[in-house]
């Protein structure tokens, strides 16, 4: 494998790990070469013990598995199972938050409260709950019960959160196609059943099930999680942030929070404030909470907490030697972190009963005892800081500044300053006149296989030059913040003339002395719900389907199964979805044809695989041009 060179901060810490003789993912990727071609094409089946069977799509070898399954069947079954992994993660996350919410309402989780009453009432009225004359707690109980219906009902009625959040035209389209969903857990069960040995062998039927699983992810996972996060912890508003590993501070107790669920991270943040004086008494300058991966985005969106690292940098944050505690909950947590923490004084703390890692300290974090546990965790970090005194740390100097907190509500508030009665009008007018050529949502991960190509940054810069409005979530948000693209100073540097003018005008109307930044941070991966809401609102305002918008999505450095299920949801919504590297579909001509061509006639969506950043951006721009032409703008 050719030597990979990463951005300055990432590379400096990889080099430092080498100096210290500590193994990282880069070493292990090399040890894994060559990776299995059948696995990459998706044509290896392990669904039963007559296998494993593998099909060479180029015709050099067996054309069928022992049971007679073809490459098309095998690839489509595998794709659906990948999506089940993604959707189960997001639905599990949402369920955790709803359960914490219910415990709070029952008085069993006194550490939590309803923070955003307006959001509660908005969700309640969307669900058809009458709010007049009822207490907030009663309304909240009904909202929680509607959420639980979506995880338990057996009557086959469409899911409440689908009716609440799906754009109306797309809801009707899915109804006509027979892919509406009712109960997320049943859908996940049916998908596992369907893909087990001796069930669905029809690739088209399996691909329709993939679209359904996309809807499960989008509505019972992402939208449900975002709604409850906002009610519990507040809907994000624009704030200033810093990004990159340079946000660690040598003389402070550094607590890195990694994972996804704000039910944990919000509590830790609260207790760092309460224990600030204690930390100072022990010789520090205070406590510095930094965010890693998606929970980092959650904290930065609501509290402006610095964004320390994306997923590929999680090991490297520890290599600085400056992290006193890394606290994790669920998803995207590399088992290697516990081993790296052991090389330093760092306390690596797991908190979920279903996420335990050898070598980690486990603190079972339950909403009922949130305050006690959060206090215990912060105290462990303060103790670890004392152990660190006098030890060498290697914190890179580089950090960038920018803005975060651009929820749809925050965007609408900004736009109201331009047109208070019709806030979307300025966006629609500027899309029509071409100042905003189109809208592209970047989502997903940093791929260790592609990160050295700066895929995400290069594509974004190209799109900005062409006046595209770029919004980002998840680890792409970290990458683009680190590149300085979420700061106002990047507006004049990277945007085409049209977008530059719009960002200056809205910034001025909003009372800022700077233009809005060119890339808008819309939050964590579950906050892809916010991107869908924005696109749904634009489509609604224009009176068209989402598939008719000059818009696209991109997962430019695909890693996780969760990105596959989100991508499929975007395909079901009718979006053009760029993905790199290729999802594991190339072993099936049916899956490849349907997802990259035929689907356009069904939902309007289309998958587009391209690993070269310039070509990928050009492909997206041509798609936007076609959509603009079709709209006559
Ligand atoms: O859910 S972007 S590496 S942290 S999967 Fe994971 Fe990918 Fe990061 Fe968040 Ni999303
Ligand atoms: Fe092989 Fe069929 Fe068993 Fe898969 S289900 S491992 S293709 S025999």
Hey, whose CA ends up nearest to atom 1 of ligand 1?
525
CA distance 523 to 521: 6
The bound ligand whose nearest atom lies closest to the alpha carbon of 475 is: 1
**Which one, of 77, 84, 89, lies nearest residue 42 by Cα?**
77
The number of the ligand 2 atom at minimal distance from the alpha carbon of 74 is 7
Hey, whose CA ends up nearest to atom 6 of ligand 2?
51
**Which one, of 425, 459, 464, 431, lies nearest residue 444 by Cα?**
459
**Do 601 and 497 share a domain, yes or no?**
yes
Strand ordering across the sheet containing 519-523? 519-523, 468-473, 438-442, 551-555, 576-579, 606-609
**Do 220 and 315 share a domain, yes or no?**
no
**Do 523 and 615 share a domain, yes or no?**
yes
**Do 229 and 251 share a domain, yes or no?**
no
What residues make up the domain containing 165? 75-233
The bound ligand whose nearest atom lies closest to the alpha carbon of 474 is: 1
Tell me what the pLDDT averaged over the chain comes to: 97
**Do 415 and 376 share a domain, yes or no?**
no
Pocket test for ligand 2, best of 38, 42, 52 (most atoms within 8 A of CB): 52
Q: Sort strands 347-350 and 576-579 into parallel, antiparallel or unpaired.
A: unpaired
The number of the ligand 2 atom at minimal distance from the alpha carbon of 64 is 7
Residue 593 main-chain phi, psi, to 5 deg: -65, -45
The bound ligand whose nearest atom lies closest to the alpha carbon of 66 is: 2
Classify residue 398: in a domain, yes or no: no
Q: Is 90 in the pocket of ligand 1 (CB under 6 A)?
A: no
The number of the ligand 2 atom at minimal distance from the alpha carbon of 46 is 6
Classify residue 16: in a domain, yes or no: no
Q: Is the pLDDT of residue 51 over 90?
A: yes
Q: Is the pLDDT of residue 194 over 90?
A: yes
Q: Tokens 């590929």 label which residue? A: 312
What is the tens place of the pLDDT at every residue in 238-289? 999 999 999 999 999 999 999 999 999 999 999 999 999 999 999 999 999 9
More confident residue, 3 or 458: 458
Distance 40 CA to ligand 2 centre (A): 18
Q: Is 293 in the pocket of ligand 1 (CB under 6 A)?
A: yes
Say what the pLDDT of residue 390 is.
85
What is the tens place of the pLDDT at every residue in 468-522? 999 999 999 999 999 999 999 999 999 999 999 999 999 999 899 999 999 999 9
Mean pLDDT for 337-345 is: 98
Say what the pLDDT of residue 3 is.
84
Mean pLDDT for 343-353 is: 98
Classify residue 29: in a domain, yes or no: no
Using DSSP, state whether 531 is helix, strand or coil: helix
Q: How many CA atoms lie within 13 A of 146 on its CB side?
A: 25
CATH number at residue 251: 3.40.50.2030
What is the tens place of the pLDDT at every residue in 404-428? 999 999 999 999 999 999 999 999 9
Say what the pLDDT of residue 1 is.
75
Q: Sort strands 400-404 and 239-243 into parallel, antiparallel or unpaired.
A: antiparallel
Query: Where a domain ends, among 210, 233, 256?
Result: 233
The bound ligand whose nearest atom lies closest to the alpha carbon of 329 is: 1
Query: Where a domain ends, among 167, 199, 233?
Result: 233
What is the tens place of the pLDDT at every residue in 358-398? 999 999 999 999 999 999 999 999 999 999 988 999 999 99
Q: Is 559 in the pocket of ligand 1 (CB under 6 A)?
A: yes
| Structural tokens at position 72 | 């098309």
The number of the ligand 2 atom at minimal distance from the alpha carbon of 66 is 8
Hey, whose CA ends up nearest to atom 4 of ligand 1?
293
CA distance 589 to 257: 43
The number of the ligand 2 atom at minimal distance from the alpha carbon of 69 is 7
The bound ligand whose nearest atom lies closest to the alpha carbon of 67 is: 2
Classify residue 20: in a domain, yes or no: no
**Do 454 and 561 share a domain, yes or no?**
yes
**Do 198 and 128 share a domain, yes or no?**
yes
Pocket test for ligand 1, best of 522, 524, 560 (most atoms within 8 A of CB): 560
Which residues contact ligand 2 via a Cβ below 6 A?
45-48, 50-53, 65-67, 69, 74, 197
**Do 541 and 605 share a domain, yes or no?**
yes
Using DSSP, state whether 573 is helix, strand or coil: helix
Quick one: pLDDT band at residue 59, thresholds 50, 70, 90? confident
CB distance 550 to 576 below 8 Å: no
Residue 590 main-chain phi, psi, to 5 deg: -65, -50
CB distance 228 to 101 below 8 Å: yes
Classify residue 10: in a domain, yes or no: no
CA distance 161 to 225: 11
Q: Percent of the chain having pLDDT more than 90?
A: 98
Query: Where a domain ends, among 181, 209, 233?
Result: 233
**Do 253 and 217 share a domain, yes or no?**
no
The number of the ligand 1 atom at minimal distance from the alpha carbon of 444 is 2
What is the tens place of the pLDDT at every residue in 131-180? 999 999 999 999 999 999 999 999 999 999 999 999 999 999 999 999 99
Distance 419 CA to ligand 2 centre (A): 60
- In angstroms, what CA-CA distances link 302 with 234, 311, 410, 473? 7, 20, 11, 14
Distance 577 CA to ligand 1 centre (A): 17
Classify residue 68: in a domain, yes or no: no
**Do 513 and 568 share a domain, yes or no?**
yes
Number of domains in the chain: 3
Classify residue 45: in a domain, yes or no: no
Residues found in the chain: 633
Say what the pLDDT of residue 2 is.
76
Distance 127 CA to ligand 1 centre (A): 29
Distance 63 CA to ligand 2 centre (A): 12
Mean pLDDT for 186-191 is: 98
Classify residue 56: in a domain, yes or no: no
**Do 364 and 463 share a domain, yes or no?**
no
**Do 501 and 459 share a domain, yes or no?**
yes
CATH number at residue 97: 1.20.1270.30
Mean pLDDT for 588-595 is: 98
CA distance 160 to 533: 16
Say what the pLDDT of residue 57 is.
84
């Amino acid at each position: 494998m050719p030597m990979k060179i990463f951005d300055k901060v990432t590379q400096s810490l990889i080099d430092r790990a080498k100096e210290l003789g500590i193994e990282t993912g880069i070493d292990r990727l090399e040890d894994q070469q060559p990776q299995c071609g059948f696995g990459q094409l998706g044509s290896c089946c392990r669904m039963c013990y007559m296998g494993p069977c593998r099909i060479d799509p180029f015709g050099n070898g067996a054309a069928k598995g022992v049971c007679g399954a073809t490459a098309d069947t095998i690839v489509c079954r595998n794709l659906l199972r990948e999506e089940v992994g993604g959707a189960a993660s997001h639905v599990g996350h949402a369920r955790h938050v709803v359960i914490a919410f219910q415990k709070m309402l029952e008085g069993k989780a006194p550490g939590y409260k309803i923070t955003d009453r307006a959001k509660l009432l908005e969700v309640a009225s969307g669900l058809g709950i009458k709010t007049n004359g009822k207490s907030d707690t009663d309304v909240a109980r009904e909202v929680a019960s509607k959420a639980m219906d979506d995880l338990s009902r057996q009557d086959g009625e469409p899911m409440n959160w689908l009716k609440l959040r799906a754009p109306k035209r797309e809801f009707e389209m899915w109804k006509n196609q027979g892919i509406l969903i009712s109960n997320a857990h049943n859908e996940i069960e049916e998908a596992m059943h369907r893909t087990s040995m001796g069930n669905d062998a029809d690739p088209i039927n399996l691909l329709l099930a993939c679209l359904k699983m996309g809807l499960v992810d989008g509505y019972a996972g992402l939208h449900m999680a975002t709604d409850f996060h906002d009610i519990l912890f507040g809907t994000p508003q624009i704030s200033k942030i810093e990004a990159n590993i340079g946000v660690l501070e040598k003389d402070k107790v550094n607590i890195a929070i990694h994972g996804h669920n704000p039910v944990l991270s919000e509590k830790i943040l609260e207790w760092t404030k309460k224990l600030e004086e204690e930390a100072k008494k022990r010789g520090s300058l205070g406590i510095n909470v930094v965010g890693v991966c998606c929970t980092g985005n959650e904290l930065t969106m609501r509290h402006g907490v610095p964004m320390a690292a994306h997923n590929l940098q999680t090991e490297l944050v520890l290599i600085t030697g400056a992290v006193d505690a890394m606290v994790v909950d669920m998803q995207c947590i590399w088992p290697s972190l516990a081993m790296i923490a052991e090389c330093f004084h760092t306390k690596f703390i797991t908190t979920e009963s279903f996420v335990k890692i050898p070598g980690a300290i486990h603190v079972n974090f339950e909403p009922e005892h949130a305050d006690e546990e959060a206090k215990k965790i912060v105290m462990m970090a303060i103790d670890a800081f004392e152990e660190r005194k006098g030890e060498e740390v290697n914190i890179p100097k580089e950090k960038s500044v920018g803005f975060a907190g651009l929820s749809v509500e925050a965007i609408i508030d900004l736009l109201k300053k331009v047109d208070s009665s019709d806030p979307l009008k300025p966006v629609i007018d500027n899309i029509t006149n071409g100042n905003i050529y189109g809208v592209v949502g970047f989502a997903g991960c940093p791929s260790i296989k592609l990160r050295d190509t700066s895929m995400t940054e290069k594509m974004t810069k190209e799109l900005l030059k062409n006046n595209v409005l770029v919004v980002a979530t998840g680890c792409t948000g970290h990458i683009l913040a680190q590149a300085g693209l979420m700061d106002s100073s990047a507006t004049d540097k990277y945007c085409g003339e049209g977008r530059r003018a719009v960002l200056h005008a809205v910034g001025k109307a909003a009372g800022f002395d700077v233009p809005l930044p060119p890339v808008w941070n819309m939050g964590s991966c579950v906050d892809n719900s916010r991107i869908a809401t924005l696109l749904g609102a634009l489509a609604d305002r224009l009176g068209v389907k989402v598939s008719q918008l000059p818009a696209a999505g991109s997962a430019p450095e695909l890693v996780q199964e969760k990105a596959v299920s989100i991508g499929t949801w975007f395909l079901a919504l009718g979006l053009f979805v760029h993905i790199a590297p290729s999802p594991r579909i190339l072993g099936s001509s049916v899956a490849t044809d349907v997802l990259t061509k035929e689907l356009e006639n069904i939902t309007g969506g289309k998958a587009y695989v391209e690993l070269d950043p310039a070509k990928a951006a050009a492909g997206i721009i041509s798609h936007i041009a076609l959509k603009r032409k079709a709209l006559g703008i």
